[in-house]
Amino acid sequence: MTGSRKGDEGRRIAFLGTGLMGAPMARRLLGAGFAVTVWNRDPGKAEALAGDGAVRAETPADAVSEADVVITMLTNAEAVKDVLFDRGAADAITPGVTVIDMSSIAPHFARNHSARLAERGVDHVDAPVSGGVVGAEAGTLAIMAGGDKDVIDRLADVFAPMGRVTRVGPSGAGQLAKLANQQIVAVTIGAVAEAMMLIEAGGGSPAAFRDAIRGGFAESRILELHGRRMVERQFTPGGSSSNQLKDLNAAMEAAKTLSLTLPLTAAVHAEFSEFVANGNGEKDHSALLLHLEEKNARPGGKK
């Protein structure tokens, strides 16, 4: 391991996955005085946290071996399974430790991971987040937790530097809440994009339109942040379209399992599927505007 510990007086945290979201979340924990050991598939992303006081581990198993709490913030369910079970991290976790999976995965995967960890005497909470990189840096993430209430309550000091935690139900419920959140995000992005196109096509100013409706019934974080991205045509990802599609795929799968018909979600799912299939997965999800413009033969939003 490389780096130096600080805050050894508190609980020791292993943070697995220090990418776009994970790195600022780990920094928040370091700033709160926790001793944090980090691991990432790309060692450089973990090494970057050493200057903030983190210890970099060579393997996931090394990272968790002395941890009191393990946090995973990984790309998808396959990555979580690989890191926890295929790479031996679960076997290196001491019984009585809690794993908090803050990745966004389908609920049935979360319940499966919880059951497998329970066999080892390890508690599990699925606690995906919403708020993007801005929220991760500010410590204002919305954290949706599924699992035992007593376990979640015991972790209040761990969650606090990262954002506001709400228990929404038993194992898997946190992930289901995240899927519902992503439905709202995707549908709202689509609605804002279509409204921007309508205004521009009629000769109005999208920027002035956005300003005009701020504070009214259409106000939202999507209008505030992604509406600005659309006006400025700045689509470097905070949240990628490929990740948005991943969550919509899981939402549609959950809806099918629950015998639900979700027509608005289905419509925006189809548009994101096409957008990503056309090679735009690494653009911000607000870039769905580009896809809708192309469908209307309006490249760049111009007549």
Do 93 and 18 share a structural domain?
A: yes
Mean pLDDT of the region 238-257: 92
CB 99 within 8 A of CB 84: yes
Catalytically annotated residue among 178, 256, 302, 303: 178
Do 226 and 144 share a structural domain?
A: no
- Return the pLDDT at 294: 95
Number of Cβ within a 10 Å radius of residue 289: 25
Tell me: pLDDT of 143 over 70.
Answer: yes
Task: Categorize the per-residue pLDDT at 6 as very low, low, confident or very high, splitting at 50, 70 and 90.
Answer: very low
Q: How far is Cα 200 from Cα 214, in angstroms, rounded to an integer?
A: 18
**Please, where are the H alpha helices in 170-205?**
173-201
Tell me: pLDDT of 5 over 80.
Answer: no
> Domain range spanning residue 250?
177-301
The label of the residue with tokens 């966004």 reads: 104
Number of Cβ within a 10 Å radius of residue 249: 15
Do 75 and 23 share a structural domain?
A: yes
- Return the pLDDT at 3: 43
Do 136 and 58 share a structural domain?
A: yes
Mean pLDDT of the region 202-220: 97
Q: How far is Cα 95 from Cα 206, in angstroms, rounded to an integer?
A: 56
Tell me: pLDDT of 20 over 50.
Answer: yes
What is the DSSP code string of 249-293? HHHHHHHHHTT---HHHHHHHHHHHHHIIIIITTSBGGGHHHHHH
Do 135 and 62 share a structural domain?
A: yes
Task: Categorize the per-residue pLDDT at 300 as very low, low, confident or very high, splitting at 50, 70 and 90.
Answer: low
Do 203 and 158 share a structural domain?
A: no
- What is the pTM assigned to this prediction? 0.85
**% of the chain with per-residue pLDDT over 70:** 95
- Return the pLDDT at 163: 98
Please give the tally of structural domains in the chain: 2
Do 262 and 236 share a structural domain?
A: yes
Q: What is the pLDDT of residues 97-122, one digit of tens each?
A: 999 999 999 999 999 999 999 999 99
Using the 3D structure, point to which of 149, 169, 189 is the last residue of a domain: 169
- Cα–Cα–Cα angle for 41, 158, 119, nearest 5°? 70
Q: How far is Cα 174 from Cα 189, in angstroms, rounded to an integer?
A: 22
Do 230 and 135 share a structural domain?
A: no
Mean pLDDT of the region 198-202: 96
Do 63 and 126 share a structural domain?
A: yes
Tell me: pLDDT of 278 over 90.
Answer: yes
- Return the pLDDT at 239: 86
- Return the pLDDT at 1: 53
Tell me: pLDDT of 164 over 60.
Answer: yes
Do 13 and 146 share a structural domain?
A: yes
Using the 3D structure, point to which of 150, 169, 188 is the last residue of a domain: 169
Tell me: pLDDT of 132 over 90.
Answer: no
* Nearest CA among 81, 95, 26 for reference residue 55: 26
Do 20 and 123 share a structural domain?
A: yes
Supply the mean pLDDT for the chain.
93
Q: What is the pLDDT of residues 169-187, one digit of tens each?
A: 999 999 999 999 999 999 9
Using the 3D structure, point to which of 115, 136, 169 is the last residue of a domain: 169
Active-site residue flag, 246: no
Paired strand residues for 143 = 129, 165
Do 234 and 182 share a structural domain?
A: yes
Per-residue DSSP letter, 54: P
Paired strand residues for 108 = none
CATH number at residue 129: 3.40.50.720
- Return the pLDDT at 303: 43
CATH number at residue 284: 1.10.1040.10
* Nearest CA among 234, 199, 245 for reference residue 218: 199
